[in-house]
Amino acid sequence: MSDKAYMLFEEEQKQRGIDLEHVKAKLKQFKIETPSWGYGDSGTRFKVFQKVGVPRTPFEKLEDAAVVHRLTGLCPSVAIHIPWDHVDDYGKLKSHAESLGLSIGAVNPNLFQDDDYMLGSVTNSDPSIRRKATDHLLECVDIAKETGSRDLSLWFADGTNYPGQGDIRQRKHWMLEALTEMYRAMTADMRMLIEYKAFEPAFYHTDIADWGMAYNYAQKLGPQAEVLVDTGHHLPGANIEHIVAYLIDEKRLGGFHFNSYKYADDDLIVGSMNPYELFLIFYQIVLAANDADESIRDTVEKIAFMIDQSHNIEQKIPAMIRSVLNVQTQYAKALLINHEEVAEAAERGDVLGAEDAVRRAFEFDVTPLLHAVREEKGLPIDPMKAYQASNYATEILARGKGGASW
């Protein structure tokens, strides 16, 4: 991309009243957390395809994540999943991350893989299984202390497949009991991010099925509990950006798990199916970031933007690079919305004018802008090409097949 392309872009944006220096500053600060599990072998319930070169240990997962950060400048932290990322010494994992220019991000407990959890984890009617599950939550708080992680992100597979299988209200109480115990164990600077999901693996009822239930638990627990919006966890047709705006306004939007879906929780590359939806999510975020109310701005400041995907057939590192670049692109577009123009049109009841003012920002090609940002940060202007031109993809082949998988 030439300087000329950027100059033309700059001129056009200036004429629209957009302060590109502000836009660039925002883009330079933007961070996206990548998940350790996105670097390992993963699959569907039909098959986990084993790829050559996949990391064999949590340490190697961090090494791959560091490559993504080095090339994109976007991903300085990595979420971990316990016990998938179990190590004997979490201090060592933290130091390893630091030596790679990374930090350990959210700690994700795993309460869905043991046979014990078939009928539920913290909502199981067997008190010894509930105890085991809650102890795992507490263990994750201790791990977060060791890794210096601020966030604990919780997703529960708990639910039932048939009416009568469980007492829905009793399970609700058990859920709150476990969350309360965990909440009390957290330090003052930690946050509990509560994820919801409409269905799967449970197909009749899921104990935390939607944002309202997650929000209700967060409300009951206290200010350190917030809602985590996983974009793939909604029923078709859900207006995710509405949920986002609502939760920001309630100061309970803790973070995102970004991915794309066509049908349900497909965990495809974010922005690959529905880039406009992603843009509209960022529209709400950018709008709130400019709010006159400081507490709203503060909520936006603390949002954890995280990827949560499983790369079944695609190469893991390029898939992650593609993902974070897709997020960056939609954020960049949302930063080009002229909010005054939108507000003026809305004020005069000009529905089409308001919609046009929002959509027009989406239609810009932000390539010159992103190239300029990367150049100014000393990054490769095309991170994907830079990865393909590097030797890393070949070097990791020496790891062989049979890397870490879930």
Residue 209 CA to residue 195 CA, distance in Å, equals 9
Residue number closest to ligand PSV, CB atom: 155
Q: Which does 371 bind (CB under 5 to 8 A by kind): ligand PSV, Mn ion, none?
A: none
Work out how close the CB of 308 gets to ligand PSV at its nearest, in angstroms, rounded to a whole number. Answer: 5
The DSSP bridge pattern shows strands 159-160 and 205-206 to be antiparallel
Tokens of 188: 């003052």
Residue 19 CA to residue 192 CA, distance in Å, equals 36
Task: Output the furthest CA–CA distance in the chain (Å, rounded).
Answer: 68
State how far the alpha carbon of 34 is from the alpha carbons of 9, 65, 78, 295, in Å: 31, 7, 5, 27
Residue from the set 207, 230, 241, 341 that interacts with ligand PSV by CB under 6 A: 230
> Which residues inside 5-34 make contact with ligand PSV, applying CB under 6 A?
none
What sections of 210-336 are H helices per DSSP? 211-221, 240-249, 275-289, 294-301, 316-334
What sections of 82-223 are H helices per DSSP? 90-99, 127-147, 168-185, 211-221
Nearer to ligand PSV, 13 or 36 (CB): 36
Residue 68 CA to residue 76 CA, distance in Å, equals 9
Residue from the set 108, 147, 312, 329 that interacts with ligand PSV by CB under 6 A: 108
Residue with tokens 């090494």: 63
Work out how close the CB of 295 gets to ligand PSV at its nearest, in angstroms, rounded to a whole number. Answer: 27
3-state SS assignment for residue 278: helix
Residue with tokens 């600077």: 189
Site for ligand PSV contains 308 (CB under 6 A): yes
Residue from the set 265, 329, 337, 383 that interacts with ligand PSV by CB under 6 A: 265
Nearer to ligand PSV, 64 or 265 (CB): 265
Nearer to ligand PSV, 207 or 267 (CB): 267
What are 168-171's contacts with CB under 8 Å, separation 24+? 168/205, 170/125, 171/120, 171/123, 171/207
Number of residues that bind ligand PSV (CB under 6 A): 9
Q: Which does 374 bind (CB under 5 to 8 A by kind): ligand PSV, Mn ion, none?
A: none
What does the binding site for Mn ion look like in residue numbers (CB under 5 A)? Answer: 230, 257, 265, 308
Nearer to Mn ion, 61 or 257 (CB): 257
Nearer to ligand PSV, 36 or 299 (CB): 36
Work out how close the CB of 198 gets to ligand PSV at its nearest, in angstroms, rounded to a whole number. Answer: 10
Work out how close the CB of 52 gets to Mn ion at its nearest, in angstroms, rounded to a whole number. Answer: 26
Residue 59 CA to residue 61 CA, distance in Å, equals 5
Work out how close the CB of 231 gets to Mn ion at its nearest, in angstroms, rounded to a whole number. Answer: 9
Q: Which does 108 bind (CB under 5 to 8 A by kind): Mn ion, ligand PSV, none?
A: ligand PSV
Work out how close the CB of 210 gets to Mn ion at its nearest, in angstroms, rounded to a whole number. Answer: 14
Q: Which does 85 bind (CB under 5 to 8 A by kind): ligand PSV, Mn ion, none?
A: none
Nearer to ligand PSV, 35 or 380 (CB): 35
> Which residues inside 150-209 make contact with ligand PSV, applying CB under 6 A?
155, 195, 197
Q: Counting beta carbons within 10 angstroms of the beta carbon of residue 275, is it exposed (0 to 12), middle (13 to 18) or buried (19 or more)? A: middle
CB 329 within 8 A of CB 32: no
Q: Which does 272 bind (CB under 5 to 8 A by kind): Mn ion, ligand PSV, none?
A: none
Work out how close the CB of 182 gets to ligand PSV at its nearest, in angstroms, rounded to a whole number. Answer: 16
Q: Counting beta carbons within 10 angstroms of the beta carbon of residue 139, is it exposed (0 to 12), middle (13 to 18) or buried (19 or more)? A: middle
- Chain contacts with ligand PSV (rule: CB under 6 A): 108, 155, 195, 197, 230, 257, 265, 267, 308
